[in-house]
Amino acid sequence: MRQKIDISIVVPIYNERENISELHSRILKAAESITYSFEIIFIDDGSTDGTFEEIKKLNNVCAYSFVKNLGKSHAISFGIKKALGEIIVTLDGDLENHPEDIPKLVNKLDEGFDVATGWRKDRWRSSFLSRRVPSLVANWIISKLSKVQIHDHGCGLTAYRSNLFNDFDFPGEFHRMIVPYLSIEGANITEIPVNFTPRRHGKSKYGLTRTFKVVLDLLSYYFFKSYSSNPMHFFGFTGLFLVFLGAISFLWSLYLKIGQGINFNKTPLPELIAIFVVVGFQFILMGLLAEIFTRSFRSNSKNKDYKIKEEFID
């Protein structure tokens, strides 16, 4: 049985066969430079290029391979659930992040912070249109709407106190928003500059479409922050407001008929009344269904089922 340790280094990877050996050796060197016990956890997110076969050649690792590609968020979530460390460090597998920066992040937690996230100040050297522009837009949007003022919400190199995840439910594609989500729980967050090197091997998994995904993630974040415990407050208020508009429209139609002698069938009011009332009651019903779902979800286990193709522990 694996014993409790100080630091768990969680690395989600997808088709990074050419980077694995160097990544592993640099992680070992960085981890051994600090006086903590550590473990390395690789989560192979359904790679098709032989990445997991390369991992099995390594020493001192725990590795899990998904049957199919589930996405980075699921890989990180699974790795955190498997981690035994008091501190969890996440690190991308493309060597753009430098494992040598891990001690700097861990030292920041020793100063009393709950989260220490990296800031890739030199990322301007990466592809400007396909990566730099989407990154700037995404970071600006997230900072403005979440009120978490850090420069680089997308940096994969971050250190967390593991107790932050004791009752943390990983929502959807959470990896871009994990720091804002943790800020809701009162985590003390800091950001420090880290090194960045454009990838030398493999293909980037990001592009312009990421900006649109960030907008959707922010909508989820706003709802989670404000209404996750009481979704009826959102749907019910919206529904009642629409029904109220329907009532106002009905009273206005009566005024036009009685006071002005105008047949309201010649106005758009009947259609508006029907739309407001019907859609309003639909929102109220959605709120009731959301309440049922939320309470049922809380009463069941929060563990997600991951189909593991292969497991390797050395």
Residue 157 has pLDDT above 90, yes or no: yes
Lowest mean pLDDT among 39-48, 91-100, 210-219, 280-289: 210-219
Q: What's the whole-number average pLDDT of the chain?
A: 82
The amino acid at residue 137 is V
Q: How confident is the model at residue 199 (pLDDT cuts 50, 70, 90)?
A: confident
What is the model's pLDDT at position 300?
Answer: 55
What is the model's pLDDT at position 301?
Answer: 47
What is the model's pLDDT at position 254?
Answer: 83
- Domain extents for the chain? 5-228, 231-297
Q: Are strands 115-120 and 308-313 parallel, antiparallel or unpaired?
A: unpaired
Instruction: Specify the 3-state DSSP secondary structure of 153.
Output: coil
pLDDT tens digits along 203-252 = 655 555 555 666 666 666 666 666 666 677 778 788 888 889 989 888 88
What is the model's pLDDT at position 226?
Answer: 64
Cα(96)–Cα(125) distance, rounded to whole angstroms?
11
Top mean-pLDDT range of 89-93, 117-121, 279-283, 285-289: 89-93
Output 88 or 299, whichever has higher pLDDT.
88
Mean pLDDT of 26-33: 90
pLDDT tens digits along 161-191 = 999 988 776 655 567 778 888 887 889 999 9
Output 88 or 217, whichever has higher pLDDT.
88
What is the model's pLDDT at position 66?
Answer: 94
* Token representation of residue 191: 């950001």
pLDDT tens digits along 278-291 = 998 888 888 777 76
What is the model's pLDDT at position 183?
Answer: 83
The strand ranges marked E within the chain are 5-13, 38-44, 62-66, 85-90, 115-120, 158-161, 189-194, 308-313
What is the model's pLDDT at position 142?
Answer: 73
Q: How confident is the model at residue 124 (pLDDT cuts 50, 70, 90)?
A: low
What is the model's pLDDT at position 149?
Answer: 78
Lowest mean pLDDT among 26-40, 234-248, 257-271: 257-271
pTM of structure: 0.71
Residue 295 has pLDDT above 70, yes or no: no
Strand partners, 90: 10, 158
Burial environment of residue 311 by CB neighbours within 10 A (0 to 12, 13 to 18, 19 or more): exposed
Q: Under CATH, which number does the domain 5-228 receive?
A: 3.90.550.10
Mean pLDDT of 107-121: 92
Q: How many residues does the chain have?
A: 314
Residue 34 has pLDDT above 60, yes or no: yes
